[in-house]
Structure 1
Amino acid sequence: MTHSIYAKSIPETDALMKIVENVLNVSSKLYEPNGQEKSALGAIGPIIHKISCEVSSNCSEIQGLEQRILRLLKSLEKFNWDAKIAITLAGFATNYAEFFLIDEVYTKNTTAISLLQLKRLGQKDIGNNGDTVKELVTKMTCIAKNILTLKIIQDNHPSTISIDITDFQSASYWIIYAILLCSLEISGQEVQRVLVDSIIKKIDGICSHFISKLKECQKHEQEQKIIKEQYEIYVRIFGRRHDDNVSILEPLLNCKEDEELIYSKDPMKNIKLKDLANGSVIIVLSSFDIDVYREEVSLIEAFSNKTNTNGLYHIVWLPIGHCNEETYATLVSNKPWYYLRFKSLVRQTVVLKQYARKEWGFDEKPMMMVLDNGEVIHHDALSLIQMWGDLAIPFKRDQETTLWRDHGKSLEFKFLLDYLHDDFTRVEKESDSQYACLFGGRMLQKSREADEKWFADLAEKLMKAANEWSNIKLKMAYLSANKEEVNLETKIKTEVRDKIKINKHGKEQILKYVDVQYVDVDQVSTVNLFWSRVRNIMLQLSILDENKTLEGNMKTLLDTTRGIVKYSSLQSTAWVLIGKPRTNEMIICGAELFSECLEQINKEIDGGKSELIKSYGSLIKALRVRLEEKGLGKNNVELVGTHCFKHVVYGDGMKTGGMKCVICNKAMKKVALYQCCE
């Protein structure tokens, strides 16, 4: 074993190498170590002396070089590879310097002449081999310096560069080999020219490799410096108010104030950047794959069409990423907003993306940053539109807090259903008789077909229970959370609609008093928007409820969204959300528990207890009584057989406040989620 797992560095390795450079005459500048360095270097003096003796011993034989190399490495096993190289070179330098000092002064000093004669007794003159030695020494020193520099960079900035440990091992081996070869040359021993040339070639290759590595590293460091400087520019421009919008737009869009912004749908509306100096401007940040996010794009386009008529906002699209000119032309051709010419697209996309991801939670999806007279008043107004619709306009600072304060207490179940489908939120004359039921997840029965049948049976039980109340309008839908569940929804939809048809028009005509409809919800963009809204609502209300002051409709909404997130985060768990859109009556619970309660209600109905069931006043209240008997708490969380759970927030959009456990109310640890298309 030639390297210990507990190998250590020498803090003064750099100082040692500077002294070695002076000794080997490869540095024209004399280096004088300070007191602390002298003390530390003194501690390794015996080791250097030992290496010096090992290097100079047995120089009369070229055989056994590999064994000597291994002995040297063994004696240095407790040091890191950079320290091994520095110490070995230091040991060699003492011999090298001694010989060449004598060689240099022997013509002037009689003692030196005699000493040189004694050292060369029985040996040939070094002759032209001195040039070979000097060449090897220069190359070895170059390698050592580059390794030390790379090691320092790697220790201080681990992410900057990655060097394979075998590079250090190989360099150490061949440097020691070259040192031993130089010792033979200095002592005047016969060394095959082929061997010398091969070692020179090997050392030269290693030297070139580390020079290349160092240049690569320095280039990367320079790029990182530029990125850091650009990042600091973004911090400055977004961190304070400016005299006008141009002060923000110029560095953000990387263009001058006379740059023209194009409006694809009407070239007559083209404007210059300086025309946006005052008023309100919206920057749409997104990836070039913006059309993938259909729901978000449709919201932005709807907003643009509304505001274009009154000129309240100018919308500019700023894509982040890489794209060719042809694709870009296609993308902007049908968008109702301003855009830059392709050659003027922002060049600091890496930095902007990094800043947006860290500060605003950007995750490729479109965001709407609002500027108002030189100030960023909201970094993602699209989330406001998703949550509040037209109530979010006009955008103001601290808009979310204001909206929750002004409208939170009057929020209804309908607020959760917005954007899912008009059939869920359309106001009927008899609004008290409207019910909406959403279900999702998996029961993970023996087969997918069994799951499909289970959900269809659940829907049938709900229809039968709802039939006890006159003129009920019950609308339901399955919400998927992944591709597998999208396929499941297609089958469930067919099964449920068949059940509705049979129960309404069959012989028994069970559905006499209830109008049941399975709503065809877009299982991709619309459902994704639903999940996004649920999480945003939960996060915002969790922040507002920091001191446990929420009550009424807002508290009900918080408990419900927490319940939805809880059940959707648990594997092998189906869930049900049911409520009356025009009230704050809503229940979220596990589908299995919900099914048991429906069975109990239907048994009571079949047993002649319809009046008792109706006495609760509504289907929701009847369900809640049965659910509470089975362990559902008033805050919509199952109390029996449950436990605290970990919730992973998608993205990183929450920059203030925190996230608390649904069950124990303790602050939860924030973790990242990397999710593929599945």
Structure 2
Amino acid sequence: MNLLATESFSSCSSSSVDDDFLIRNILLTHDPDGRHLDSELLLRATENIMCYATTLDVLDQRFDAIGTSNICNIEAIASEEPWGQTIYKMSQEIHCRCYVDGDLHTQAMSLFDMLGPYRWDAKVALVLAAFATSYGEFWLILQLYARDHLAAAVAILKHMPSDISWLKPRFKALNLLVKTMVEVTKCIIKFEGLPLQQVLLDSKAMAVTKSQIYIATYWIFRSSLACCFQITDLMKHEQVYSKSTPIAALELLSLAYKLRGLCRNLREQVDLCHQQIEKGWYKKLLNLFKETHADNQEVLHTLFALKDELPFRNCSSQTKPSCVHVEKGWYKKLLNLFKETHADNQELGISELKSKVVLLLISKPELLSIDGILLLVQQTYDHPDHKNLGGSYEILWVPIPSSDTWNFAEERSFDFYANSLPCLSIRRPWLLNSVVVKFIKEELNYKEEPLMVVWDVRGMVTNSNAIDMMLIWGAKAFPFSASREKKLWETENWTLQFMVDGIDTLLTKWVEEGKNLCIFSSSSLDWIREFSSKVKEIKSTGMQLDMIYVGTRNQSEHVQKILAIIDDEKLGSSLTLIKMNFFWIRLDSMKKSIVRQEQTVHTQRILEEVSEILDSDKIEKDWVVIGRGSATGLVKLQGKKIMEYFDLFPVWGENVGKVGLMAAIRAALEPPLPATRCNYSNVVSYDERLMEGTVVCEQCKRPMEKFVIYE
């Protein structure tokens, strides 16, 4: 078929009557049967081919790797054949018609007949993908034949031109048409992706937009055929195509201008529909969260399951790294997950979360720092209380990129963490509707800092951000509501047990045994050596006191060097680098959590203690905290005072046997006690270890009498 002899520039224009007749014929071929194709992902992969193929007018390079990385994830639901086979059949059909006589209109309508069961976005995506295979193959051989013997041999058999200098006008027109087809396809995909079942559009806007989609689909089909005919036309003797190049370029340009006009009008209509949908659906979401529901299913479905009946992804069946074995290759194991292919991802529906408390973890695709993630997993799925709760809660990760579109690095990061963590995640977060993203940002107050919103079993928000609460108490904080967080702070005390709760097995054991522990931090190796010497002098008298180095928040190479020297010179015990991060992350979370609470005298006192440690670390000031188990009244020393008071051990050491180590140190630190006892009292939860130890009054600093209150 000779395209040049059958088409003219004027043939691209048509009257409204012709459009009405064309639409009727197109609709006669449309018979959707419920099959669904991820047309957006397929288009991205197709555009990636166009990007590589184009040499004269390069397309947007941001698709360089995205399409390639996700091409295997394209889904064809309820289809009788794999999407790859469908594309192959379409490609062969288009290619064969290049050698059959007939006009472009008839050929385009035959493609409509083949794609009758598909939605409109899938129709155009499949045709473009089919064309891209021929287009990409042509350019691949053309680019390689000068330096590759195989490509040269194939080029000879296909009669491909050896000199393309005469073809530049035609290639420019071809590339312009290809880009325009892609832009029109994006408009169609955007409209088909609107949640029309949620909000009714204005009938006139709907009718006009759909009519434009039918016409635009037709011209994409027709243009794809024209491009293939042009490529076939190049397989001729150079004297033939060199003379026809200007005319052929004009034919392609006429189609490009036709599609460009359609694209402009269609984009305006789709944007109008999008605005109507966004406004109506956003209002519906606001009302939805004000209503009382029997369960959380309607809320979850409206947010996450409009485009996907199996919106969640679960990799918990895989072997997960356990925080208990952090020192045994955590980082190596996590990094190896980048190289693994996970074929056992479970696709889950919203019914999996029915009757569960849902913790919506919202963050960038990069999630938290590695250590923050490890601590989160330890405090949730590895926490002792997790099994006792019997799956009463689930974390659902919703990653949201900084921009409106996902880039390659963000997709790689999402795949890595989604495959590594035991929590659920949105299976295809790039399909989240912009209205849902806007709702999360504005109503759930997501500001690109990790956020954990808690929904109870009825889908009601009970805590606007429980992430710090989770990092502090873990599964113990169930059901993670704001009232539960407030209750925990009311009953919590600033003790050694709370300060280091669960971050290290050996340290936890020492705390439970009621040992006298000295938690200290410094970035000065000389100071650490001197302090260790002082403690050893005290221990030489038979007194029990163990030292634990917790490093600093800034884990530089210098801190790593200090760790090695402490171990080599036996200067005391120390946490590993990961456990150190756990310690500092928990302290940061304590401060943030208390600040969000309504301040009381009790919580204000804990906040002051935590803030002093964090501030000392910020200015690299040496500090020491001495405590015992769950006893209150920790002794905290900073800077020069540490050595001054340890030098006074011969003075206050005599009182250790009478009142205990902490009380003896405190007596040396503080002014003489008042002549009479005070009336201060403190009610704490019962603990057998409290009955054995000594509790010092926070006001008069004397040992307190113990009473048991029965309720």
TM-score under structure 1 normalisation? 0.46
Q: Which has the larger radius of gyration?
A: 1
